Homo-oligomer: A and B are copies of this chain.
Amino acid sequence: MFMKDKNKSVKLAILGIGTVGGGTFRIIENSHDLILQRAGVDLRVSRVLARSPEKAYRLGIPEKAVTSHIEDILEDDSIDVVVEAIGGIEPATSYMLKAMQKGKSVVTPNKAAVAKNWAILHEAAEKNDVTFRFEAAVGGGIPIITSIKEQLVGNNFTEVRGILNGTSNYILTKMADDNLPYDEVLKDAQDKGFAEADPTADVEGLDAANKLSILIALCFNMYVDPETIPTRGISRINEADIRSAEENKQKIKLIASARLEEGKLTCKVGPELLTEEDVLYNVNDEYNAISVTGDAVGEIMMRGKGAGAFPTGSAVVGDIVSASSTILLKRHA
């Protein structure tokens, strides 16, 4: 019995214990038995990298598990999976690469790092024969990435489009529903914690461009640097634009889209007028949605919460369990 459980044991380190890292930790604590029963994985968070250890202690993480030195995690051969939840491109990318070189699987919600360093991260995973997953990088809790890679693997994709940024969707929804100007809604969103102090990446479409770059790579096996995607944000949308859309029974949404036609890719991020028939028309507030079209499946649309500790943590945990299942298969075979 002891041996059997031991053989299901997968040890985890979480780098960064902010919103997503903290949410991930709490889901694993709450759902440990559920995950063991459903997936046969006995998941334990054995180390946490935290700049401010107090944050980790408040989550109930024991003192001996917390470190501020990445080496404590990289050099610990008992750790099977590393969750990178620091954010930003560096040192996040270097930590992920080093973890893979040490034979650890890596899970991350970090769209900026995945979009920027797509090739080197994937090459490192392949070279070191480890799993690299990033379901939470696009659409938060929406399982779009794994669906494209796995369940829809038999499809030639022709189009992918979506509402990929919750902050700008929230702002556009409030401007329309409450008849308020952009600046006022943005300030309100910042006060409520729905928008960051520096909202540039969200409202200017850069975050959506990162996510679109990842979707393009997955659907079309082509890499497009997010900085080269034609990108416009929502900061210049005014009340007259919103009213005029409403008069035509339309809504303005920040849409990221890519199409492959006769081998030629077109892609962009920017505000678009949607009619009622559009599957993205009723995706409001902080919700995200992605529509993907394949030659076999037709159009699939998925909608859900695109951000937040628990929706994003849900996707991170799904990735951890998938990576763990592969680790256990290799260990037992």
Identify the A interface with B (CB < 8 A): 23, 27-28, 30-31, 34-35, 37-39, 135, 141-143, 146-147, 149-156, 221, 279, 281-282, 294-305, 310-311, 313-315, 317-319, 321-322, 326, 329-330, 332-333
Copies in the complex: 2
- The closest CB in chain B to the CB of A317 belongs to B154
Chain B residues near A154 (CB, 8 Å)?
Answer: 27-28, 31, 34-35, 313-314, 317-318, 321
A300 touches B304 (CB 8 A): yes
A153 touches B35 (CB 8 A): yes
A135 touches B156 (CB 8 A): no
Given A300-B302, A310-B296, are A318 and B151 also a contact pair (CB < 8 Å)?
A: yes
B303 touches A298 (CB 8 A): no
Known pairs A146-B147, A297-B304. 17 more at Cβ < 8 A? A30-B295, A31-B296, A35-B154, A39-B150, A39-B153, A143-B152, A143-B300, A150-B321, A152-B314, A152-B318, A154-B317, A279-B303, A298-B305, A329-B329, A329-B330, A330-B333, A332-B333
How far does the alpha carbon of A314 sit from the alpha carbon of B332 in the complex, in Å? Answer: 31
Distance in Å from the Cβ of A131 to the closest Cβ of chain B? Answer: 11
How far does the alpha carbon of A31 sit from the alpha carbon of B317 in the complex, in Å? Answer: 31
Chain B residues near A303 (CB, 8 Å)?
Answer: 279, 300-303
How far does the alpha carbon of A305 sit from the alpha carbon of B151 in the complex, in Å? Answer: 14
How far does the alpha carbon of A314 sit from the alpha carbon of B150 in the complex, in Å? Answer: 11
What are 18 A-B contacts with C-beta separation under 8 Å? A31-B154, A31-B156, A38-B153, A141-B296, A143-B143, A143-B147, A151-B322, A152-B318, A154-B313, A296-B310, A297-B311, A297-B315, A299-B304, A299-B305, A300-B302, A301-B304, A303-B303, A333-B333
